[in-house]
Structure 1
């Protein structure tokens, strides 16, 4: 008795143990790194210590620095209302990132959050790409934190030179406290955005591997099952990260509007010294939003592109195959009603991902009979993929290119307004 094509070719290929160990070490290193920042503490004591550090570095230290360094007659170099608003904005951004990402890591773990627990054994290339994307995560986070830190240090040194009244040691201590606080807050905020960006990049690998899966001679039910698995991944990602993205979008937009109102409503002179932190904050927030939008765009674009890939695959096979048109395929005994093995196809949603009514569990028992031609199977598969494109959603709103372009240009316009008000060049 001949086996079905889906049973002849295993989806999981043999792989060397060393590469799995390397991927496991990389994931453990990532989990340790996020834990050092304060994400995903699994104990009550660890969570309490994480938030205690956050309160000290993100709230107490900058407030103390503002109160000590403040000069009542130095509005040319420092405006207290500006400093307080900037501190509140960046603290809220970091708090949302710490709260949401920590909740996801505690609930699912790093491996399940990144969706590498099913697929790391599929292909050697997949594991290599996973390691590459994790390295990109570190490079991306480090580069942007360093760039923003350089801008912050330049602004703070300039301000300290003009506001220096006491000893240089005291001024240097206040500068160091300000830099430590800013580095921590920026790192927490951008790390949360970079984590979502990493999740999006890993999903792109899943979609690329799915396109390669079509090159293999498997039963159509296997392709449908794999597509349903990808769709379930998208649903879980949308459900887990939607609150994080929505809150960050709202806070960044409100922060930019407040910065615009503060700078336009102030009648004094605004320059890089007293208003430069608005420019630095705007750049950091824009970078975080772009990272999130880029990941969401990649996920939605690749998911919606599977329909065209399936159509091209169907057309190529139909033009080159000799399987006949719609005739039944009989077995050796002439019985054309012998069915293929039944494959249970179900979307594997966990209970924790079904808290929202927008996701409902799907149970299907799909049985292909030999009286159905290969052409009809492929046509049904293409119709299914085109009707279930999927993508990243926020409470039902599809984050596609149109929405992403709208959000990006609104945020970019606000940032340019703020930069235009704070970065000025005087000729006299």
Structure 2
């Protein structure tokens, strides 16, 4: 049975990389996935994290595991601790912050996965892109789990060490087995909630990286496009994809920003209040929680700002392309009236003004006998003088530059573009609130 599945998967082929001796993009129009494609690691990771909503029983199991590890486990351990146990004044704040973050991430993943993992990762749109973009996206898909491990492993190991230290020193239960069970249950709950939160952040990072690859390839091959209409269509396709990504993730980004801000201000208020006992036993877990939440938020904001910056930078590339084409057009008019250059309708080198379209050979001015049958209102670019052709080409390029200047694409959150200016304003607001809170607690003015 396993051999048959592997053979079938091999026959279907990968989703991203093209098969050998096949340059057609038609193979990327397939919408069905299979067990041997590049998404098998994502599917396995989601199943191991118990986030699988492909059918009713698996969805019910995912909700049961979430309720057990994200809600019931921390609440049960907190309520089971005896009154003689050393106090943990900041534990309630830590548990509430992590549970709310995991709930937000879990609900967002449930909503996003309804469209399917293939559509969520924008793989169905790769048929319009080059082989370099597909290869780069495949490498990024494989690298995404290392990124997830880089965030999850240090936080989980640090929290496990903290839990072992606390239960070893405090020993709230008389039986060491109860202490070990409570420590293991709290550690599993922490790892699960942190993994769910980091998972959606890494998914957003991977999706944004695909758009970065598209924009880099678009800018690199900008001058090679044969027509301004091709450039315009390519940019509109990327802009539409960014709008769809923004619509899917805008609620998660805004709620994550509010949640992380509220948790950090609550932690700051709790640690700077008078007579607060701050040491590794009381505030160590709070520090780990704050680092985890802030790291996930920064991953999302950095990815969104990066793709927005790359998308908006295409305007300068178009302006440079427009200036270069205009300058070379006049230089070629003066130096060589008939240069042997390839025909390009969009880049519009002046060679087009002197070249006759294939199948319409004439003496250069097109005064054949059948010219009278043509419409007087139609425009035949092969019969225009160089100035007229260059003027039309200039207007096309200028219209494209104006369009790019007035239609800046990027990741948006309810109409606000997540760029560097937005991040600077957000930082100043957060910094002002921090200074105001410190002024109320420790007297900083």
After TM superposition, is the score higher than 0.5? yes
Determine the C-alpha separation between the residues in 2 that align with 1:376 and 1:188: 51
RMSD: 3.5
Equivalent of residue 243 in structure 1, options 247, 251, 254 = 251
Which segments of 5 or more consecutive residues in structure 1 lack a partner in the other structure?
A: 1-11, 341-368, 419-428
What residue is the counterpart of 1:26 in the other structure? Answer: 38
Equivalent of residue 45 in structure 1, options 48, 57, 61 = 57
Give the direction of change, closer, same or farther, for the CA distance of 1:241–1:142 in structure 2 (3 Å limit). same
The structure that has the greater radius of gyration is 2
1:139 matches 2:146: yes
Q: For residues 103-122 of structure 1, what are the structure 2 equivalents within 5 Å?
A: 103-106=111-114, 108-120=115-127, 122=129
Structure with greater contact order relative to length (CA < 8 Å, sep ≥ 6):
1
| TM-score after normalising by structure 2 | 0.75
Determine the C-alpha separation between the residues in 2 that align with 1:401 and 1:147: 29
Deviation at 1:265, TM superposition (A): 3.2
Q: For residues 95-174 of structure 1, what are the structure 2 equivalents within 5 Å?
A: 95-106=103-114, 108-120=115-127, 122-164=129-171, 165-174=173-182
Q: For residues 20-419 of structure 1, what are the structure 2 equivalents within 5 Å?
A: 25-39=37-51, 41-72=53-84, 74-75=86-87, 78-79=88-89, 82-106=90-114, 108-120=115-127, 122-164=129-171, 165-265=173-273, 267-321=275-329, 322=332, 323-324=349-350, 332=360, 333=366, 338=378, 373-407=392-426
The answer to which of 381-390 and 188-197 deviates more is 381-390
- Which SS does the other structure have where 2:266 is aligned? helix
Deviation at 1:279, TM superposition (A): 0.3
Determine the C-alpha separation between the residues in 2 that align with 1:282 and 1:298: 24
Determine the C-alpha separation between the residues in 2 that align with 1:115 and 1:136: 17
What residue is the counterpart of 1:7 in the other structure? Answer: none
- Which SS does the other structure have where 2:224 is aligned? coil
Alpha-carbon displacement from aligned partner over 1:332-377 (angstroms, at most 9, x marks no partner) = 446785469xxxxxxxxxxxxxxxxxxxxxxxxxxxx979622221
Which segments of 5 or more consecutive residues in structure 2 lack a partner in the other structure?
A: 1-21, 333-348, 361-365, 368-373, 381-387, 438-445
| TM-score after normalising by structure 1 | 0.78
Answer yes or no: is the 8 Å Cα contact 1:326–1:375 preserved in 2.
no
Answer yes or no: is the 8 Å Cα contact 1:242–1:393 preserved in 2.
yes
Size of the aligned set, in residue pairs, is: 374
Give the direction of change, closer, same or farther, for the CA distance of 1:70–1:274 in structure 2 (3 Å limit). farther
